[in-house]
């Protein structure tokens, strides 16, 4: 058995000398060090040997195995170094070639629109205030003059959660209560940007999620004229002096009087299209004078203070500014659309 081990060692080392590539070396490894190699049965037979032969044969078998493993490692490293040298000699790298430009990230178009509107309001003296996207029923409705079972709640198709009386906010108006309670009885000029969620039919101008900016001003002697002037000034700052705006009487339980305001549809130049519902006007949001009950819930005395509030659909502003015909493009994650901005 010792002579058999010597023969296996000599045969393997001789075969290894003729190996010139890693593929052939792998075949050699399987043939002489794999599970079916001629060396492996000798280990299986050690238990059948006598007490005197077992340590001698076992020691020699381990020596042969270690010798072949070491020879394999040396040969593998030699082949790899040889391959590297051939690569360095035959493959040239022109270091004078210009490098590849790394792609830069871009702001999402919804973010671009949000920042433009925030910048316009900052120039008018408004400060940014953030409010939660998940609200209790009191903040979403109750404190906004909509007690339980009030029919006006049906105006918002709300996403409710598994927690009782907790839902995603369908509008940014709950932020009015947060900011008023923080600063009452001081005057306020604040905008509250953020995402809103509504379970409603998706169309070219409606989505289940959308950004909105709540505008709130509270102080003494604030009038409806201040509201109209602020909204009109925003339109002029964003689209120039020639943009037409209009106010339509409406109803919201947290404002009195209430209105909706439209900007002239720039996609069709007022002629009518699918985005504006063939009216020539695109609704941007609702507005009105803050209801006395809401002022009182926010910590202000409605006998001394008044205020106005407005909600602005930022994606619709972007649609007008860049002639975007479908609001669904904003959240479809289509790179062909997003890379244009």
Say whether 284 sits in a helix, a strand or coil: strand
- Give the DSSP letter of residue 163: S
Q: Are 255 and 291 within 8 A, CB to CB? A: yes
Distance CA 143, CA 151 (A): 15
Half-sphere exposure at residue 106, Cβ-oriented, CA atoms within 13 angstroms: 13
What pLDDT score was predicted for residue 204? 74
In the chain, where are the structural domains located? 2-90, 109-338
pLDDT of residue 38: 83
CATH topology of domain 109-338: BirA Bifunctional Protein; domain 2 (3.30.930)
Whole-angstrom distance, CA of residue 201 vs CA of residue 157: 10
Which run of H or E residues covers position 84? helix 53-90
- Residues of the chain short of pLDDT 70, as ranges, are none
Give the CA angle between residues 93, 95, 97 to the nearest 5°.
105
Q: What is the DSSP letter of 266?
A: T
Q: How far apart are CA 280 and CA 261, in angstroms?
A: 13
pLDDT at 175: 95
145-174 tens-digit pLDDT: 998 888 878 777 888 889 988 999 999 999
**Residue 140, pLDDT score:** 92
pLDDT score, position 145: 92
In 173-280 the beta strands, taken as DSSP E runs, fall at 188-197, 209-219, 245-252, 255-264
Query: Tokens standing for 193?
Result: 């940007």
Cβ atoms within 10 Å of 17's Cβ, excluding its own: 8
Indicate the pairing of strand 209-219 with strand 306-313.
antiparallel
- Residues 21 and 80: their CA atoms lie apart, in Å, by 9
Q: What is the pLDDT of residue 306?
A: 97
Query: Scanning the structure block, which residue is given the tokens 């082949």?
Result: 79
pLDDT digits (tens, 9 = 90+) for 22-39: 888 888 888 888 888 888
Burial of 270 (0-12, 13-18, 19+ CB in 10 A): middle
Q: Kindly state the helix (H) or strand (E) to which residue 336 belongs, with its residue range.
A: helix 335-338
> Is the separation of the CB atoms in 65 and 43 below 8 Å?
no
Beta strands in 84-233 (DSSP E): 127-128, 134-136, 166-168, 188-197, 209-219
CA-to-CA separations, 183 to 62, 168, 178, 256, 287, in angstroms, rounded? 83, 25, 9, 22, 21
Tell me how many degrees the CA angle 291-141-282 measures, rounded to the nearest 5. 70
Q: Which two tokens stand for residue 305?
A: 């203070």
């Amino acid at each position: 058995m010792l002579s058999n081990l010597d023969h296996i060692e000599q045969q393997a080392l001789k075969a290894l000398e003729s190996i010139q590539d890693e593929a052939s070396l792998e075949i050699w490894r399987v043939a002489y060090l794999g599970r079916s190699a001629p060396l492996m049965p000798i280990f299986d037979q050690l238990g059948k040997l006598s007490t005197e032969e077992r340590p001698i044969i076992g020691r020699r078998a381990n020596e042969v195995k270690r010798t072949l493993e070491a020879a394999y490692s040396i040969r593998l490293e030699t082949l790899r170094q040889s391959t590297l040298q051939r690569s360095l000699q035959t493959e040239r790298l022109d270091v004078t070639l210009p490098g590849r430009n790394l792609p830069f990230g871009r702001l999402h178009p919804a973010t671009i629109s949000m920042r433009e509107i925030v910048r316009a309001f900052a120039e008018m003296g408004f400060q940014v205030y953030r409010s939660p996207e998940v609200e209790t029923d009191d903040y979403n409705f109750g404190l906004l003059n909509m007690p339980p079972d009030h029919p006006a709640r049906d105006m918002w198709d709300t996403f409710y959660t598994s927690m009782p009386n907790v839902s995603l906010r369908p509008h940014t108006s709950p932020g009015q209560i947060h900011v008023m309670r923080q600063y009452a009885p001081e005057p306020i000029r604040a905008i509250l940007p953020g995402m809103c969620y509504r379970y409603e039919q998706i169309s070219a101008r409606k989505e289940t999620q959308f950004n909105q900016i709540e505008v709130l001003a509270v102080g003494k002697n604030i009038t409806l004229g201040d509201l109209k002037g602020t909204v009109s000034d925003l339109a002029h700052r964003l689209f120039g002096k020639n943009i037409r705006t209009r106010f339509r009487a409406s109803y919201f339980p947290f404002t009195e009087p209430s209105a909706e305001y439209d900007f002239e549809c720039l996609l069709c130049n007022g002629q009518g299209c699918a985005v504006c519902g063939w009216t020539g006007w695109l609704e941007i949001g609702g507005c009105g004078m803050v209801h006395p009950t809401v002022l009182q819930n926010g910590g202000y005395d409605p006998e001394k203070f008044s205020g106005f509030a407005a909600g602005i659909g930022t994606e619709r502003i972007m649609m007008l500014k860049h002639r975007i015909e479908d609001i669904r493009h904003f959240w479809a994650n289509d790179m062909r659309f997003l890379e244009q901005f």
